[in-house]
Amino acid sequence: MRVLIVEDQATTRHYLKLGLEQAGFRVDAAADGAEGLQLALDEHYDVIVLDVMLPLLDGWQVLRQLRGAGRDVPVLFLTAREAIDDRVKGLELGADDYLVKPFAFTELLARLRARLRRDQPTQIVDHLNVAELHLDVLRRRATRAGRRIELTPKEFALLELLMRRRGEVIPRLQIASEIWDINFDSGTNVVDVAVSRLRSKVDDGFDVKLIRTVRGVGYVLDVPEA
């Protein structure tokens, strides 16, 4: 999936690009409205994350020209303009979603994914199984091969995240955002420490190791291929 970020703040642009790339998206980024509009017209994107207050062309103008050119690519406004009138204006211009800064990266990611799979059915699952590892979400109980695993609330949330996304490499930034509500690259090793403790509880004593590190990206839980 290709994403275009149009954001003039370098720190935010870098953070978004890094997080979305770690989440598996191919990302281009533009620092002003004119460059963003040109990329949006020249290239194919699955979704655009668009700021409003931009140099050269503001986000309203970018979206208006995109729609005027017949481009129906989904657009999510990501802006500090929080007034109801601004939200209404963005949606009436043809935006598909509107998220106000400061924002949680995990919410942005969830909204992008929701938009991309809008027509796909969803299913609520409260019992998760990977090999002999079982998680009862409602009873807050984890077992492996019938043996109870004692987990802290954060460890349980982390294990649930990894099991629900079985086989998918989950970036550190996303884990930090979703479990600890850390929505920036803080440089903390809290994720690595927590995963190490969880891995010890889940995998120690078993020949098959379910939690793996993907160097430079994040973590994945699955049965390894033979």
DSSP state of 8: S
- From CA 42, how far away is CA 69, in angstroms rounded? 12
Q: What is the pTM of this model?
A: 0.60
**pLDDT score, position 107:** 87
Average of per-residue pLDDT across 91-111: 90
pLDDT level of residue 115 (50, 70, 90 thresholds): confident
Which of 29-33, 68-72, 205-209 has the weakest average pLDDT?
Answer: 68-72
Give the residue-averaged pLDDT of 177-188.
72
Terminal C-alpha separation, the chain: 29
163 token code pair: 């099991």
- pLDDT-based confidence at residue 183 (cuts at 50, 70, 90): low
Q: How far apart are CA 70 and CA 183, in angstroms?
A: 35
Radius of gyration of the chain (CA): 20
Asked if the model's pLDDT at residue 159 lies above 70, the reply is yes
Q: What is the pLDDT of residue 144?
A: 95
Answer with the residue of higher pLDDT: 186 or 129. 129
Tokens of 147: 């043996």
In sequence order, the β-bridge partners of residue 47 are 3
* pLDDT value at 184 more than 80: no
